[in-house]
Structure 1
Amino acid sequence: MDIPYSSMGTIEDYEATWKPKRIQFRDHVRCVASLFKRYFEKFKTSDSWKVLIECVDEITEPGVRVYSGVCTVQVQFHVDTFFSMNDLEKKETTLDLMRKGIYTIISEEGWNEAPFEKAFEQVMAVKLVNEWFWKKPLLSSDRKYKASLYIVHEVTVVKAYLIILNKNNREVLRLEAFKERPNEWNYARYLGKLVWLSQNEVVLFNKNNETVRKATVSYEE
């Protein structure tokens, strides 16, 4: 989702007035958009690999446009109202805008609506909460502990927690691994690999093999 710059202003005007707003909007819709994407099953079309919903004050290009595999549609929305909403309202509005845009495309392109509706239903089933475990739990060499990374994707921030369970599946340690802008392309750099350095010490490495967070469990736990 995006809010295209429609003014005939200067580059300086865009940088000063529109770019910060655009970045914030794109970040704040990712909570719901990425949740939908995670539930959405593979879907093939003849000419598109991506859907882009443009939120505009007035629709200037009705209908669906496909360019370089990007299927674009405009949805009328006064974006300034978005920034005065609370987080739940932003989530609900994001989902509503996605529905309007996607179903316009489905209608015009003749796509099967079933996989889209299924994803929408799953998003609603979890009440718009975007929290998930990254990869499967990693066992320590003595099989006493399991380590995992838990991602909490809110509207305004993403936090990740390094969680360790004992062999009875009781949580014995939880540490904040990182905190970042609410955009998966921004925090993906932290998601390299989890490694047990010893029987009670685990570390999260980023994609450059640098330490993000280390956790040590006392054997008493």
Structure 2
Amino acid sequence: MRILKEFDLDLPYIINDENIESVMRTRKCDYNEATKLDYELNWKWKRRSFSLETRCITAMYERLFGRYQTNDCWKVLIECVEDSSDKRIINDSGVWSVPIQFNLSEFSAKSELEKKKTTLQLLMSGIEKIAVCHNWRVEPFKETALKIEELGYLNEWTWKKAIKSPNKKYNATVICHHNVKTMDIYIAISHRDGTQVRLEKVKSDQPDEFAYARHLGELTWESDYEVALINKKGNEKFLVAIK
């Protein structure tokens, strides 16, 4: 048995013969080398950008979904392609991938909220196809999508538990706002009754775990009125003071 707990969207590389021929002429190389160069020059950045812009919703889906027991799947990968004539659902080492029709130009022109909605629609379209194919209960997947809609597509969460100030008057927490373009990290300070005293953004980074996780090392009070977020390496500190 496997536990399904990861979801992602991908923009698979599409070979453009005109681009390949152009690269072959200008770089004087063979087809295989030209294909590698074309990917690096004309596709890699598109794929990375698309991954970053959709991660806020796929990460939110993972966080709210929890875990689901399957026979052979730990991850669902939605391949967003312009030509969806290939209907195959493929399992590669426990990753079930399915192609879903998609237009990158239309997606790029959308607002942040529209991109979030489109990401969830693409994800659910792929999940439902796989669910039908493998007789999965579709209700848990739909319930997670509904939660995201009810939360207004806002992927905001608290990192670890609140910590008390030395004088016991305040609590401090780290709040993460995972957006389409950025991950914004805040330090929030509140009275013990929950009344917020201070909310300050201390760091912004790319909206991807591999980029922002390094900033989340330790939250500690420096004094009764000053709290610090220290990165994992311990060589960077972000301070917020009450007064």
TM-score by length of 2: 0.85
CA distance in 1, matches of 2:165, 2:36: 54
Is this contact kept in 2: 1:41–1:115, CA < 8 A?
no
Amino acid at match of 2:12: P
Determine which of 130, 133, 137 is the counterpart of 2:155: 130
Comparing 142-151 with 169-178, greater Cα deviation is found at 169-178
Aligned-residue RMSD, C-alpha: 1.5
Gaps of 5+ in 2: 1-8, 21-34
Letter in 2 for 1:15: E
Q: Which residue does the alignment assign to 2:13? A: 5
1:215 aligns with 2:240: yes
Q: Percent identity?
A: 35
Aligned partner of 1:166 among 173, 191, 209: 191
Report how many aligned residue pairs link the two structures: 218
TM-score normalised by the chain length of structure 1: 0.93
CA distance in 2, matches of 1:179, 1:46: 39
Aligned match for 2:84, one of 42, 59, 79: 59
Tell me the secondary structure at the aligned position of residue 223 of structure 2. Answer: coil
Please identify, of 110-119 and 65-74, the stretch whose mean Cα deviation from structure 2 is larger. Answer: 110-119
Query: What residue identity is the alignment partner of 2:10?
Result: D
Larger radius of gyration: 2
Candidates 8, 23, 37, aligned match of 2:62: 37
Contact 1:5 1:18 in 2 (8 A): yes
1:193 to partner: Cα distance: 1.6
Within the alignment, does 1:23 sit opposite 2:48 as a pair?
yes
Structure 1, 184-193 or 45-54: larger mean CA deviation: 184-193
Taking the aligned partners of 1:112 and 1:210, their CA distance within structure 2 comes to 47
**Secondary structure at 2:70 match in 1:** coil
Aligned residue number for residue 180 of structure 1: 205
- Structure 2 counterpart of 1:121: 146
Counterpart of 1:102? 127
Residue 44 of structure 1 aligns to a residue in which SS? strand
Q: Is the 8 A contact 1:181 1:187 kept in 2?
A: yes
